[in-house]
Amino acid sequence: MAADPPGPSVASAPLRVEAGGQVWTFDRPFTLGRDASCDVALPEEARVSRRHLEIAPADDGWWITDLGSANGTLVDGERVARVHVTAAQEVQVGEGGPVLRFTPSASTGETVGAPVAEAPPAPGEVEAPDLDDPFRPSPEAVEALPPVASPRVDPPVPDLGEVASPPSEPEAPSSPSGDGAADGASADAGGGPSTDALSYDAVVEHYFGGDEDDENIGERTRFIRRAYDDLQQAQATVQKKERSRYQTIVIGVLAVSVLAIGYAGYLQYRINQLRAEAQELFYELRTYEIAVANEVQRVQAQIEADPENADSLTVDLERAREARRRTASRYDQFVRRLGVYDGLSSEEEAIYRVARAFGESELTIPDAFVDEVQVYVNKWKRSGRFQQAVRHAQVNGFDVQAVNALRRHGMPTEFFYLSLQESNFDTRAVGPWTRYGHAKGAWQFIPETGRRYGLEPGPLVATNQYDPLDERHDFGLAADAAARYLHDIYSHLAQASGLLVCASYNWGEGRIKNHMRGIANDPAHRTYWRFLTEYRSRMPAETKDYVLNIFAAAVIGQNPRMFGIDMDPPVQVALAGGRGGIAPETGPTSGRTVRFGTGALQQRRSESAPAPGD
């Protein structure tokens, strides 16, 4: 295991970064990723995460650290968590991503991040704290004391500076010499120190330094002492109350903290509980999706056999649809309570809704998948292919035929965009030769799969030419065959995971089936997220791109104008002119079934068939 990287150092040489013809030089820590906020931004690289790398100087070079990216960081083809750069080093950012060259260069001579020393404090004398009794009055306090009135007697009590004692007070003890006059000259029994000797120490000694009891001191001294005692008691009471108040505050803060932590834990527990319940509901909903799809196909077959009894045949279908609606409503309540869509941008919200339409839970959609979809959405927008191909389908009525075929077999109408990815809705499309033959038509059926779903190949089956007698080139017939093929994968192998259906259509259902043998055959386990996580390294890049292109096209199709494309949502336009064999869930059942192009095709075959003996 590599040692932890040292901290940034001012001694490291600047680092030169080269990518796609661009060059950056840094002498400080920096970040690299697809997000515009990164110092080195690579917005066009789908394999690069939004914040992919952090690069920081060290004492003897630079450290490049992977920030938990989805596609990893590779050196010499091996994934690394971090790499120490002391000389020129090539690093691949993401599997299949760009290769960057990191080269320590000559020092620029600048010092980066040097600490600035603080100036020492200016010299000065600091007075030592007063360590005397905290309750002893200060000189300033004594000098500020106002004159204290004595009890009103006749004659009035003299001021503090007077020597004679008031007549109402007992005489103070005489001095040791017995000279009362000398004693009276220094201090009276009930007054205060002489104004000639008035000082802080003298006042303190006079009022607080003697051992006399209350009977042997003057009224003024007694009053001051009692006032001082009251002051001490009041101060002690205030301090006690302050301590009690602070203790109450501390206890209150601790109690609130404990309650907040406990409540946060409870909320997290409830959120986890709600998510688990929502997941269970979603898997139950997918079970109903399978039931509805199977019931739609069963009823469709019966309607084709007995159109007169169409209304009575749809009772079981409506029962399955009602169960699906109830479950979907309960699931939506959980999604709202969990705030899954709160704080999402309009584009992110469209991505979440398309995931739901394809049978994948919004609760478990990976952030990396959302990032990749946004990259593919931008590719569609730049190419102009989306609007050109969709308008071609609308002009020729292919959109109505495709959406009706999907509805007849209970499939999500978002599979309309599968034909867009396969051929741009081009009925004359012919794929390259494979060991299975040429794929032909707008839905690109190979001969074997086409025959399995009722599409007869023409005489040019082994060539790379358009064949008007090949039913794979008939959009309506091929759309119906594709809907039945998608239904079979959807109901059994993929367990209502629309994205797994797309992967199977491209990679081959046999390969998907082989890889999923160890995964339980139920909606809770068969999800595209799980398959992508466990088999990403085995899935061809073409299949990953295929699924992402279809998904991104469906996202744009939710609201093309939000993405700068001036057209109405294609599926909604097709539904408005739909003529499906089974009516929408909110409308009456018509009992009509449609087979597109069969008569014209038979006519072309009869006209082109060789005469006997030719």
pLDDT band at 12 (very low <50, low <70, confident <90, very high): confident
pLDDT at 117: 39
Phi, psi of 212, deg, nearest 5: -65, 150
Into how many domains does the chain fold? Answer: 3
**Packing angle between helix 346-357 and helix 367-383, nearest 10 degrees?**
100
pLDDT class of 16 with cuts at 50, 70, 90: very high
pLDDT attached to residue 120: 44
The confidence score (pLDDT) of residue 199 equals 67
Give per-residue pLDDT as tens, 329-370. 887 887 888 788 889 999 999 999 999 899 888 888 888 899
pLDDT band, residue 150 (cuts 50/70/90): very low
The answer to whether residues 94 and 175 belong to one domain is: no
Same structural domain for residues 481 and 333?
A: yes
Q: How confident is the model at residue 546 (pLDDT cuts 50, 70, 90)?
A: very high
DSSP 450: H
The reply to whether 266 falls in a domain is: no
Do 353 and 493 belong to one domain? yes
Both 98 and 156 in one domain: the answer is: no
**Residues 563, 518 share a domain:** yes
- What is the extent of the structural domain holding 51? 15-104
Q: How far is residue 426's CA from residue 302's CA, in Å, rounded to a whole number? A: 32
Tell me the pLDDT band of 26, cut-offs 50, 70 and 90: very high
113 vs 282, residue with greater confidence: 282
Query: Which DSSP state fits 489?
Result: I
In the DSSP assignment, the letter for residue 5 is P
pLDDT band, very low/low/confident/very high, at 214 (cuts 50, 70, 90)? low
Q: Which of 239-253, 524-538, 559-573 has the highest mean pLDDT?
A: 559-573
Q: Is 244 part of any domain?
A: no
* Nearest of 577, 556, 573 to residue 565 by alpha carbon: 556
Per-residue pLDDT at 56: 95
CB 503 within 8 A of CB 511: no
How high is the pLDDT of residue 494? Answer: 65
The answer on pLDDT for 594 being more than 60 is no
Report whether pLDDT(191) > 50: no
pLDDT at 32: 96
Which of 55-69, 352-366, 515-529, 573-587 is least confident?
573-587
- Amino acid (1-letter code) at residue 348: E
- Work out the pLDDT band at 126, boundaries 50, 70, 90: very low
Asked if the structure places residue 27 within a domain, the reply is: yes
pLDDT of 443 above 60: yes
Band of residue 412 on the pLDDT scale cut at 50, 70, 90: very high
pLDDT of the residue at 118: 42
Spatial contact of 277 and 270, defined as CB atoms under 8 Å apart: no
> Are 29 and 174 in a shared domain?
no
Decide if 111 is inside a domain.
no
Residue-level pLDDT at 579: 40
- Among residues of the chain, what percentage have pLDDT more than 90? 40
Residue 250 lies in a domain: no
> Within a domain: residue 126?
no
Question: From edge to edge, which strands make up the β-sheet containing 73-75?
Answer: 22-26, 15-19, 99-104, 89-93, 73-75, 78-79
| Residue predicted with more confidence, 211 or 96 | 96
Q: Which of 180, 202, 217 is the last residue before a domain boundary? A: 217
Which one is predicted more confidently, 236 or 456?
A: 456
E-only strand ranges, 518-587: none
Domain shared by 379 and 321, yes or no? yes
pLDDT > 70 in the chain, percent: 68
Considering only residues 122 and 568, tell me which one the structure prediction assigns the higher pLDDT. 568
Residue 358 near residue 497, CB atoms below 8 Å: yes
Please check whether residue 263 lies inside any domain of the structure: no
527/402 same-domain check: yes
| Range with lowest mean pLDDT among 383-392, 555-564, 588-597 | 588-597
pLDDT exceeds cutoff 80 at 308? no
Most confident range (mean pLDDT) of 393-407, 495-509, 583-597 is: 393-407
Q: How far is CA 428 from CA 441, 442, 483, 557, in A?
A: 6, 7, 19, 24
Residues 53 and 202 in one domain: no
Q: Which of 54, 79, 104 is the last residue of a domain?
A: 104
Are residues 98 and 151 located together in one domain of the fold? no
Q: How confident is the model at residue 307 (pLDDT cuts 50, 70, 90)?
A: confident
Task: Flag whether 544 is in a domain.
Answer: yes
Looking at residue 159, its pLDDT comes to 43
| Domain shared by 322 and 391, yes or no | yes
- Apex CA 134: angle with CA 133 and CA 140, to 5°? 100
Residues 68, 151 share a domain: no
Rounded to whole angstroms, the maximal C-alpha distance in the chain is 169
Query: Please, are residues 271 and 338 in contact by the beta-carbon 8 Å criterion?
Result: yes
More confident call, 585 vs 273: 273
CATH number (domain holding residue 38): 2.60.200.20
Given 104, 122, 154, the domain boundary residue is: 104
Q: What is the mean pLDDT of residues 591-601?
A: 33
